A = this chain, B = another copy of it.
């Protein structure tokens, strides 16, 4: 029934996964140790390890030294979103991308941004507000703070030409980020920007990035009406 030839780790993963899917192993059940499975499948422990690691990364099983491998009690659903450069996102929909800088000014960070970064006190940072357009319609309105301590070069970039979004992604790798999504009613400003009614429900993303605990940027992006954030996954 199982493959007669030499086992690949994907093959092993599938066999084990199927034993879970058809309830031969139920949540909480413990698997034989890797070595025994290796014997059963006619492969080395390394190969079983690779398969089990993949299942563990997928949130399907839990592994503990000495404790063995068990089917997770509460299988985790992990949804992964890939957040692209806004220009590419627009272009991939077949629309023409344009970008409009509203202003870029150095000023002290408001309390909200101090909290986002976890700073001790307000700092002077570069505040950039801009609009990303798709076929001349506002697509995303962006309000961004950039740490000029961590990224002094940003002051020399011509932000009327290149968006801070794109410049930062290309030139400033980060080591950690925080991302949140929520919903707001359009105020009069956003209603005007997106040419929609006041109170229109809009999706908002906030992303804050650091490099080694040094703040890089914190951005609040308001998306146009009807925006969907989409993830697809295989367990």
Contacts and interface: CB of A to CB of B under 8 A. Distances in A.
Interface of A: 20-21, 27, 59-60, 74-85, 88, 169-170, 173-185, 199-203, 207, 211, 226-235
A151 B82 CA distance: 32
A122 to B, nearest CB: 24
A113 to B, nearest CB: 17
B228 A181 contact: yes
B76 A84 contact: yes
A229 B175 contact: no
Copies, count: 2
A87 to B, nearest CB: 10
Given A180-B228, A185-B200, A232-B178, A79 B80 contact: yes
Given A78-B80, A169-B75, A233 B182 contact: no
A174 B227 contact: no
Nearest to A87: B74
Given A177-B235, A182-B203, A199-B199, 20 more contacts: A74-B84, A75-B173, A76-B83, A77-B177, A79-B80, A79-B81, A80-B80, A81-B81, A173-B235, A176-B232, A177-B232, A177-B233, A178-B230, A179-B231, A180-B231, A181-B203, A182-B226, A183-B183, A184-B201, A203-B203
Contacts of A235: 173-177
A185 B201 contact: yes
Nearest to A233: B177
A211 B17 CA distance: 12
